[in-house]
Amino acid sequence: MDWDLLSVSFVAVFLSELGDKSQIAAIALGGSSKSPQAVFFGTAGALLLASLVGVLLGQGVAQVLPTQLLKGIAAIGFATIGLRLLWPKEA
Amino acid sequence: MIAALVDFKLTLFRSPSMSAPEPSIVPSETPNTTAKTPGKSTFVSVFTSTFFTILFAEMGDKTQLTTLLMTAESQKPLMVFLGAGSALVTTSLLGVLLGRWLASRVSEAAIETAAGIALMVIAVLLIGDMLDMT
């Protein structure tokens, strides 16, 4: 067990994620959703998979995956959820 | 954590038709239970939309690049993944708990407006990331 490397990667990732897009999204979705547990599992699962992909694919991520397209889809997804929350509800 | 994920997988693969006959057996109880707790379908749809939007947003992002560089440098992918993974679970948990705490302090309408604006800002930031990549 390489405790130095483990703690360095924990601290580095923790600090870089604090207040980042995904955490803001987790706050927004967790606060407004009917199922905060689902938001937690969805967020944590997605972040774990993203970092696993980063670890496994190494420097090839950008070449292997259409990251630009995926970010575009994510932008549409967040905008859709955001608009649905801002849209006035019918009584 | 793992047990919870396995449990979730089981609920994912349970088809709606399997649980459909149940309400007809106890018809008087169903409206109460659906009103009290959000149904399985709410959980699955919230999980799925959250999972894919966050996953796609994080692809090629700085955390992924950090783990990638640390792996390349140390050649110890497991240690980097364990460190990064536990940090990401912690930040997600803190985020959701902070969201719940905020939601308990202000009105539902206010939190929905704030959340809607925050998500629109994130969408704009992501488009900015996309343009940076070109």
pTM > 0.80: yes or no: no
CB A65 within 8 Å of CB B117: no
Q: What is the DSSP string of A32-66?
A: H-S-HHHHHHHHHHHHHHHHHHHHHHGGGHHHHS-
Q: Which pLDDT belongs to residue B102? A: 95
Q: Which pLDDT belongs to residue B45? A: 93
Mean pLDDT of A71-84: 93
Q: Which pLDDT belongs to residue A15? A: 92
Distances in Å between the Cα of B49 and the Cα atoms of A47, A53, B99, B112 are 14, 20, 17, 17
Burial A54-85, CB ≥16 within 10 A → b, else e: bbebeeebeeeeebbebbbbbbebbbebbeeb
Domain ranges of chain B: 40-133
pLDDT band at B27 (very low <50, low <70, confident <90, very high): very low
Prediction ipTM score: 0.88
- In chain B, the percentage of residues whose pLDDT exceeds 90 is 49
Q: Which pLDDT belongs to residue A13? A: 93
Enumerate the residues of chain B whose CB falls inside 8 A of the CB of residue A57. 68
pLDDT band at B4 (very low <50, low <70, confident <90, very high): low
Q: Which residue has the higher pLDDT, B107 or B29?
A: B107
Q: Which pLDDT belongs to residue B101? A: 95
Cβ separation B115–A36 shorter than 8 A: no
Per-residue pLDDT at B104 exceeds 90: yes
Q: Cα(A46)–Cα(A10) distance, rounded to whole angstroms?
A: 17
The one-character DSSP state at A31 is H
Q: Which residue has the higher pLDDT, B41 or B24?
A: B41
Which site among A33, A57, A59, A84 would you substitute to test the B interface, given the most B Cβ atoms closer than 10 Å to its Cβ? A33
Mean pLDDT of A28-52: 94
Structure tokens given for A52: 């696993």
Enumerate the residues of chain A whose CB falls inside 8 A of the CB of residue B130. 68, 71-72, 75
Mean pLDDT of B85-105: 96
